[in-house]
Chains A and B, each alone.
Chain A
Amino acid sequence: MAYQIENTQQGEKYNTIFSKVPAAERRKRNSRSRLRKRILLSTYIVLLMLPIYWLLNMSLQTNSEILGSMTLWPQNLTFDNYIGIFTDSSWYMGYVNSILYVVMNMIITMLVALPAAYAFSRYKFIGDKHLFFWLLTNLMAPPAVFLLPYFQLYYSVGLFDTHIAVALAHCLFNIPLAIWILEGFMSSVPKEIDETAYIDGYSFPKFFVKIFIPMISSGIGVVLFFLFMFSWVELLLARTLTSTDAQPIGMIMTRTSTASGIDWGTLAAAGMLTIIPGILVVYFVRNHIAKGFALGRT
């Protein structure tokens, strides 16, 4: 922090020496451009929030009010939609299912991606470049291509409709992504650190857990965010591999459209609730994201 303040003061000093514009005028210009930035950014965020606001607005109304007329905010506030979801186990289990397989996927992916990324970043071995590109190709495989084979594969090994099936299926695109990002972070840690640790008598596993992982913690934070995000929002595979016990919430939400029309209120409330776990994850990794995804990729 002190370093930052010193920096800006220095910048100011440079400006006083090198800039033709008088100081007062320069400050005015700066504040004007900052204001313009603020206004532009606020406009974008407001536009971004509009659809989400609309969802929130609908989730706090009764169905008759939603369909009745156009209102910009709920005329008579009701929490019935949310209460309905929290009291019906078939609804809230959907969230539990989704969270379960996302967490499983995060753990599995991290366990296999960390050593693999380390190998890619530190060693040359036979076929490493080909292997790396092949990994990336998996990231490009459209889930739609794999629907049927997945269904048959998991059915035949008896994993159909379990959380682990979805977690494993999501590894298809999450493992390559994790390795890709982690490799960049690991390459930015100097090799000398590894060597010093070995000289000090650390065994490889101990060094990896005690020294190396804390060093790339911000990388791990960013990766976890991505893993969460892509696993949480993916529904094509999750829908195909589950039927009743492990249904993701996105699938349960489709129950709101019945013969008598769509239950908009419940749909909107359920949609609002799907955003909340994500907000928590972003909150925990926000500083790491800012710290530099670009680390080691400079």
Chain B
Amino acid sequence: MNNKVQNNRAWLLVLPMLVLVAFSAIIPLMTVVNYSVQDVLGPNASFFTGTEWFRTMLNDPALHAAFGRQVAFSLIILAIQVPLGIGIALLMPKKGWQASAVLILITLPLLIPWNVVGSIWQIFTRNDIGLMGWSLSELGLDYNLTRNAGDAWFTIILMDVWHWTPLVAMLCYSGLRSIPEAYYQAARIDRASKWAVFRYIQLPKLTNVLVIAVLLRFMHSFMIYAEPFVLTGGGPGSSTTFLSQSLTTMAIGQQDLGPSAAFSIIYFLVILLVSWVFYTTIMHMQKDKNSQGGA
């Protein structure tokens, strides 16, 4: 909206939110920063180490590998899920009970707790009692999660596509629903092809919801923890160990407070940087189009 009123008393409306978010975001973050520059030896014994932990972390080859895997994973699933989600949204019925039924069925995977998703796929891919694992074995394929890194990757990507494509589809669906019928009529008068309708009517309308979808998907895939942890435990070897898991192993398993705090901050900054670049690019694109920026 371009005609907002300047009114600093609006802060009063934001205040309760600010207090809550501060409690759940700022205080913990300060704690993390504190740890990252100290060596904690006991409850009351710690000394200042400065940037030493950060240096250690940035030079850790295991982390480099985890980071590379994480980036690859996020890019792969975005490349699969976004087009697939748009495609499914285009197929979905427009109204009536069928629309409701399809919507409910499609959102099912989104409503399952994340570690249960891991369990489901753990069962589903077992060679002896799981439908998918069994079918693949019957077809004579050598499919083994715990032995082949390739199979583990394939399964995790498949699982994520299964789990999250519905979110993209749902957002796109609601975006498509907001297009007035008149646009389609106009296209029909111009004898526009199906592709032209998609390219010049549907896709521009979808940009805004796609921003939300891509941002959410990027963030969640970059923080993925429970599903691979349950399914493969990060194995075989460390081929499916992503950043969150390395971090939790360090912080809880080994009690390395300093390094893991430093790692947390680096991790957070990376996500922030990518999202910020993405966000500002989109905002500028919207400004260029002279449309009112939604978010």
Residues in chain A within 8 A of chain B (CB atoms): 4, 7, 10-11, 14-15, 18-19, 37, 40-41, 44-45, 48-52, 54-55, 58, 66-67, 70, 72, 108, 111-113, 115-116, 118-126, 128, 131, 133, 135-150, 152-153, 168-169, 171-172, 175-176, 179-181, 183-184, 187, 191, 222, 229, 232-236, 248-250, 253-254, 264, 267-268, 271, 274-275, 277-279, 281-283, 286-287, 289-298
CB distance from A112 to the nearest CB of B (A): 4
Cβ of A290 and Cβ of B174 under 8 Å apart?
yes
- The answer to whether residues A149 and B32 also contact, given A232-B111, A235-B226 and a CB cut-off of 8 A, is yes
Instruction: Report the bound CA distance from A70 to B126 in whole Å.
Output: 11
Q: A254-B115, A279-B108, A281-B111 are in contact. List 17 more A-B contacts (CB 8 A).
A: A4-B181, A19-B188, A50-B131, A55-B123, A70-B134, A115-B16, A123-B4, A124-B6, A125-B7, A138-B21, A144-B244, A146-B29, A148-B261, A150-B28, A168-B24, A169-B24, A222-B174
Q: What are 27 A-to-B residue pairs whose CB atoms are below 8 Å?
A: A4-B181, A14-B185, A41-B92, A48-B166, A50-B132, A51-B131, A52-B120, A54-B120, A58-B123, A72-B131, A135-B21, A140-B271, A141-B25, A142-B264, A142-B267, A142-B271, A144-B267, A168-B24, A172-B21, A175-B20, A176-B21, A229-B110, A253-B115, A278-B111, A282-B107, A283-B100, A289-B103
Instruction: Report the bound CA distance from A45 to B251 in whole Å.
Output: 40
* Set B28, B112, B292: member contacting A149, Cβ < 8 A: B28
Instruction: Provide the residues of chain A in CB contact with B110, threshold 8 Å.
Output: 229, 233, 278
Residue of A nearest to B7 (CB): A123
Chain A CB within 8 A of B77 CB: no
The 9 closest A-B pairs by CB, nearest first: A278-B111, A297-B294, A149-B28, A293-B174, A149-B31, A123-B10, A119-B13, A297-B208, A292-B178
Cβ of B88 and Cβ of A124 under 8 Å apart?
no
Residues in chain B within 8 A of chain A (CB atoms): 1, 3-11, 13-14, 16-18, 20-21, 23-25, 27-29, 31-32, 35, 88, 91-93, 95, 99-100, 102-116, 119-121, 123-124, 128-132, 134, 162, 166, 170-171, 173-175, 177-178, 181, 184-185, 188-189, 191, 205, 208-209, 212, 219, 222-223, 225-226, 243-244, 247-248, 251-252, 257, 260-261, 264-265, 267-268, 271-272, 275-276, 279, 291-292, 294-295
* Set B105, B119, B219: member contacting A253, Cβ < 8 A: B119
Cβ of B174 and Cβ of A294 under 8 Å apart?
yes
Instruction: Report the bound CA distance from A148 to B252 in whole Å.
Output: 8
Cβ of B28 and Cβ of A146 under 8 Å apart?
yes
CB distance from A173 to the nearest CB of B (A): 9
Cβ of B111 and Cβ of A115 under 8 Å apart?
no
Q: Which of B5, B17, B108, B272 has the most CB of A within 10 A?
A: B17
Instruction: Provide the residues of chain B in CB contact with A15, threshold 8 Å.
Output: 188
Instruction: Report the bound CA distance from A135 to B80 in whole Å.
Output: 29
CB distance from B11 to the nearest CB of A (A): 6
Cβ of B6 and Cβ of A123 under 8 Å apart?
yes
Cβ of A115 and Cβ of B13 under 8 Å apart?
yes
Cβ of A18 and Cβ of B189 under 8 Å apart?
yes
Cβ of A125 and Cβ of B11 under 8 Å apart?
yes
- The answer to whether residues A153 and B104 also contact, given A138-B21, A168-B23 and a CB cut-off of 8 A, is no
Residue of A nearest to B137 (CB): A70
Instruction: Report the bound CA distance from A294 to B92 in whole Å.
Output: 17
Instruction: Provide the residues of chain A in CB contact with B223, threshold 8 Å.
Output: 142-144
Cβ of B248 and Cβ of A41 under 8 Å apart?
no
Residue of B nearest to A6 (CB): B181
CB distance from A42 to the nearest CB of B (A): 10
Instruction: Report the bound CA distance from A134 to B105 in whole Å.
Output: 35
Residue of A nearest to B109 (CB): A48
Cβ of B5 and Cβ of A123 under 8 Å apart?
yes
* Set A40, A133, A142, A191: member contacting B222, Cβ < 8 A: A142
* Set A10, A139, A148: member contacting B251, Cβ < 8 A: A148
Cβ of B105 and Cβ of A290 under 8 Å apart?
no
Cβ of A271 and Cβ of B107 under 8 Å apart?
no
Instruction: Report the bound CA distance from A147 to B93 in whole Å.
Output: 42
Instruction: Provide the residues of chain B in CB contact with A111, threshold 8 Å.
Output: 16
Instruction: Report the bound CA distance from A124 to B6 in whole Å.
Output: 4
Cβ of B3 and Cβ of A172 under 8 Å apart?
no
* Set A19, A175, A286, A294: member contacting B178, Cβ < 8 A: A294
Instruction: Provide the residues of chain B in CB contact with A274, threshold 8 Å.
Output: 111-113, 116
Instruction: Provide the residues of chain B in CB contact with A116, threshold 8 Å.
Output: 13-14, 16-18
Residue of B nearest to A68 (CB): B129
Cβ of B111 and Cβ of A70 under 8 Å apart?
no
Instruction: Report the bound CA distance from A9 to B170 in whole Å.
Output: 29
CB distance from A31 to the nearest CB of B (A): 14
CB distance from A231 to the nearest CB of B (A): 11
Cβ of B1 and Cβ of A121 under 8 Å apart?
yes
Cβ of A41 and Cβ of B104 under 8 Å apart?
no
* Set B27, B104, B121, B175: member contacting A282, Cβ < 8 A: B104
* Set A50, A112, A146, A168: member contacting B17, Cβ < 8 A: A112
Cβ of B275 and Cβ of A140 under 8 Å apart?
yes
Instruction: Provide the residues of chain A in CB contact with B108, threshold 8 Å.
Output: 48-49, 52, 275, 278-279
CB distance from B271 to the nearest CB of A (A): 5
